[in-house]
Structure 1
Amino acid sequence: MASSDWASKDFYKTLGVSKTASQAEIKKAYRKLARDNHPDSNPGNKAAEERFKEVSEAYGVLSSPEKRKEYDEQRTLFGQFRGGFQGAPGGGFGAGPGVDFDLSDLLGGIFGGGGGRGRGGRRAPQGRRGDDIETEATITFQQAVEGATLPLRMTSDDACPTCHGTGARPGTVPKVCPKCQGSGMQTGTSGGVFAMTEPCDQCRGRGMIVEDPCATCHGSGRAPSSRTLQVRVPAGVKDGQRIRLKGKGGRGEGPAPDGDLYLVVHVEKHKVFGRKGDHLTITVPVAFDEAALGATISVPTLDGPPVSIKIPPGTPSGRTFRAKGKGAPIKGSAGKNGGRGDLLVTVDVQVPPELDDEARAAVEALRAARGTDDPRATLMEEAR
Structure 2
Amino acid sequence: MATKTCYYEVLKVERTATKQQVDRAYRKLAIKYHPDSNRDDDSATAKFKEATEAYEVLSDANKRARYDQYGHAGVEGATQQYGDVEDIFEAFGDLFGGGGFGDFFGGGSRRGGGGRRRVRRGADVRCDVTLSLEEAARGSHKDIVFRRRVSCDTCDGSGAAAGSEPVTCTMCGGQGQVIQSAGILRVQTTCPTCKGAGKQIGEPCGKCRGTGTQNEKAEMNVEIPAGVDDGMRVRLQGEGEPSPDGGPNGDCYCFISVKEHNLFKREGQHLILQMPISYAQAALGAEINVPTLDGPHELTVPAGTPTGHVFTVRGQGIVDPRSGRTGDLLVQVFIEVPKKLNDKQQKLLRELADLDHDSVLPERTSFLDKLRHFFDPEPEDANTGPTDTEKDS
Q: Which TM-score bucket, shorter chain as reference?
A: 0.5 to 0.7
| Counterparts of 2:93 and 2:275, CA distance in 1 | 55
| CA-to-aligned-CA distance 1:348-382 (integer Å, 9 cap, x gap) | 21222222222222212211222334764433544
Q: 1:107 to 1:69 in 2, by over 3 A?
A: closer
| CA-to-aligned-CA distance 1:19-61 (integer Å, 9 cap, x gap) | xxx999xxxxxxxxxxxxxxxxxxxxxxxxxxxxxxxxxxxxx
Higher relative contact order (CA 8 A, sep 6+): 1
The aligned runs of 1:10-21 (5 Å cut-off) are none
1:108 correspondence with 2:102: yes
1:378 correspondence with 2:359: no
Provide the TM-score with structure 1 as the length reference.
0.61
Q: 1:72 to 1:249 in 2, by over 3 A?
A: farther
| Counterparts of 1:116 and 1:70, CA distance in 2 | 13
Q: Structure 2: which amino acid aligns with 1:309?
A: L
Q: Gapped runs of 5+ residues in structure 1? A: 1-21, 25-65, 78-103
Q: Is the 8 A contact 2:172 2:178 kept in 1?
A: no
| Counterparts of 1:178 and 1:332, CA distance in 2 | 49
Q: Larger radius of gyration, structure 1 or 2?
A: 2
| Counterparts of 1:110 and 1:133, CA distance in 2 | 32
| Counterparts of 1:378 and 1:364, CA distance in 2 | 24
1:269 correspondence with 2:263: no
The aligned runs of 1:178-217 (5 Å cut-off) are 183-185=174-176, 205-217=196-208
| RMSD of aligned alpha carbons | 4.2
The match for 1:150 among 142, 148, 153 is 142
| Counterparts of 2:105 and 2:257, CA distance in 1 | 35
Which residue does 1:95 correspond to in 2? none
| Counterparts of 2:106 and 2:233, CA distance in 1 | 26
Q: 1:221 to 1:71 in 2, by over 3 A?
A: farther
| Counterparts of 2:106 and 2:136, CA distance in 1 | 38
Which residue does 1:165 correspond to in 2? 157
| Counterparts of 2:148 and 2:105, CA distance in 1 | 24
Q: Is the 8 A contact 1:122 1:185 kept in 2?
A: no
Q: Is the 8 A contact 1:174 1:208 kept in 2?
A: no
1:327 correspondence with 2:317: yes
| Counterparts of 1:168 and 1:210, CA distance in 2 | 6
**CA displacement at 1:125 relative to structure 2:** 4.4
The match for 1:288 among 279, 298, 307 is 279
Q: Is the 8 A contact 2:107 2:115 kept in 1?
A: no
Which residue does 2:122 correspond to in 1? 130
**CA displacement at 1:161 relative to structure 2:** 2.1
Which residue does 2:306 correspond to in 1? 316
Q: 1:107 to 1:327 in 2, by over 3 A?
A: closer
Q: 1:216 to 1:71 in 2, by over 3 A?
A: farther
Which residue does 1:28 correspond to in 2? none
| Counterparts of 1:178 and 1:316, CA distance in 2 | 80
Which residue does 1:99 correspond to in 2? none
| Counterparts of 2:198 and 2:139, CA distance in 1 | 47
Q: 1:146 to 1:369 in 2, by over 3 A?
A: same
Q: 1:148 to 1:111 in 2, by over 3 A?
A: farther
Secondary structure, aligned partner of 1:300: strand
Which residue does 2:351 correspond to in 1? 365
The aligned runs of 1:24-35 (5 Å cut-off) are none
Which residue does 1:353 correspond to in 2? 339
Which residue does 2:13 correspond to in 1? none
**Between the two proteins, what is the percent identity of the paired residues?**
32
**CA displacement at 1:311 relative to structure 2:** 0.8
| Counterparts of 2:358 and 2:107, CA distance in 1 | 86
Secondary structure, aligned partner of 1:224: strand
Q: Structure 1: which amino acid aligns with 2:102?
A: G
Q: Gapped runs of 5+ residues in structure 2? A: 1-59, 63-88, 375-393
Q: 1:229 to 1:187 in 2, by over 3 A?
A: same
Q: Structure 2: which amino acid aligns with 1:266?
A: S
Provide the TM-score with structure 2 as the length reference.
0.60
Q: Structure 2: which amino acid aligns with 1:161?
A: D
**CA displacement at 1:190 relative to structure 2:** 7.0
**CA displacement at 1:298 relative to structure 2:** 0.9
Secondary structure, aligned partner of 1:232: strand
| CA-to-aligned-CA distance 1:269-317 (integer Å, 9 cap, x gap) | 1001111221212112212211111110111111x23110011111111
| Counterparts of 2:356 and 2:236, CA distance in 1 | 65
**CA displacement at 1:258 relative to structure 2:** 1.8
Q: Is the 8 A contact 2:240 2:252 kept in 1?
A: yes
Q: 1:305 to 1:72 in 2, by over 3 A?
A: same
Q: 1:220 to 1:288 in 2, by over 3 A?
A: same
Q: Structure 1: which amino acid aligns with 2:352?
A: L
Q: 1:23 to 1:252 in 2, by over 3 A?
A: farther
| Counterparts of 1:113 and 1:231, CA distance in 2 | 43
Q: Is the 8 A contact 1:122 1:183 kept in 2?
A: no
Q: 1:290 to 1:174 in 2, by over 3 A?
A: same
| Counterparts of 2:288 and 2:309, CA distance in 1 | 14
| Counterparts of 1:131 and 1:176, CA distance in 2 | 25
Q: 1:69 to 1:289 in 2, by over 3 A?
A: same
